[in-house]
Amino acid sequence: MHIGLEMNGVVVIDKPPGMTSHDVVLDVRKVAEVKKAGHTGTLDPLATGVLPVCVGEATKLVPFLVSVTKDYRVSMLLGVRTDTLDVEGAVLAEKEPQVTDRSVIDALQGFLGRSEQVPPRYSAVKVRGKALYKWARQGIVVDSPPRMVEIYDLTVEQISLPYVTFRMSCSGGTYVRSLCAAVGELLGCGACVAGLRRTRSGIFSEAAAIVLDGKDRPGDDERVRSGLISMAELLPDMKAIVPDDTWVKKIKDGVHPRVEMVNRRDDIPFLDSGDMVKLTVGNGELIAIAELLCGSRELAGLQNDVPVMKLLRVFKEN
């Protein structure tokens, strides 16, 4: 059964080691027979675990699903520095780690909270229109500006030198490789990532992840179809507004919602200008994401024909 034209949603793939995130997306496109697919956050080839892949109309949601909390299980190797900050890179220096369990735990937990982080030279971050790893492969050193990241929780599970295993929860855009390298510098011995598994990305967990065989296409097709998370289930924390049928058609045609659509102040309680809402129909189908142009308190004083929202994405699932 060919289902490509009907597929709109997210499928969570358990990425195997050795594949790039782009490779996984290409696999999903072939299996699902869809033209459009995209992941919500790169995993290094070394890494495994949760890689949400948006298919069909859900690709329009990628920017809204990238900057979410992510959980990882990490194996860090102390005493080794590499050019890629993981064990797959060229070794730059080695040094016997002279550390105690307490010093390792303190060093890791010292990175809890907000801090500036410089992305690795070998990463997908774009500088001057090109990914850093492409500059690095050309032997060109390009400085990437630091960015603010946050580590919410970090728990050391095991220390068996030179390896340290820990779990962490962090903001989107946090590089575990950069964290391990920084810990190694703090401990004076260097460090790199030996193993990495993403266990959660926002609302997507490893319990929902499916494994693609890459050989049994009919079986893969069934796994993708049964594992598809509908667009109606995405963005659960975003306030939903259900317009009437007249406005549903207008919104799908790209007309920005006006005051007359939000006919009661309680439709957008406690929301302010700049906040985002999702527009749905009665069965939960997602038809658009919009940005408020005014808060709920200002509605009462506006004329019915004044635009109250700016459409950011419009979805046409059917």
Catalytic residues: 44
Residue 279's alpha-carbon distances to 39, 114, 241, 245, 317, in angstroms, are 23, 33, 5, 12, 13
Cβ-contact 292, 306 below 8 angstroms: no
Cβ-contact 39, 58 below 8 angstroms: no
Cβ-contact 240, 262 below 8 angstroms: no
Cβ-contact 289, 240 below 8 angstroms: no
Around Cβ 189, how many Cβ atoms within 10 Å?
Answer: 20
Residues ≥6 apart with Cβ < 8 Å to 197: 47, 48, 49, 72, 73, 206
Cβ-contact 155, 173 below 8 angstroms: no
Closest by CA position to 13, among listed 3, 2, 25, 4:
25
Cβ-contact 281, 302 below 8 angstroms: no
> Which tokens belong to 107?
């060093």
Residues ≥6 apart with Cβ < 8 Å to 138: none
| DSSP labels, 161-225 | TTEEEEEEEE-TT--HHHHHHHHHHHHTS-EEEEEEEEEEETTEEGGG-B---SS-HHHHHHHHH
| Residue 284 Ramachandran class (φ > 0 left, ψ -120 to 50 alpha, else beta) | left
Cβ-contact 97, 78 below 8 angstroms: yes
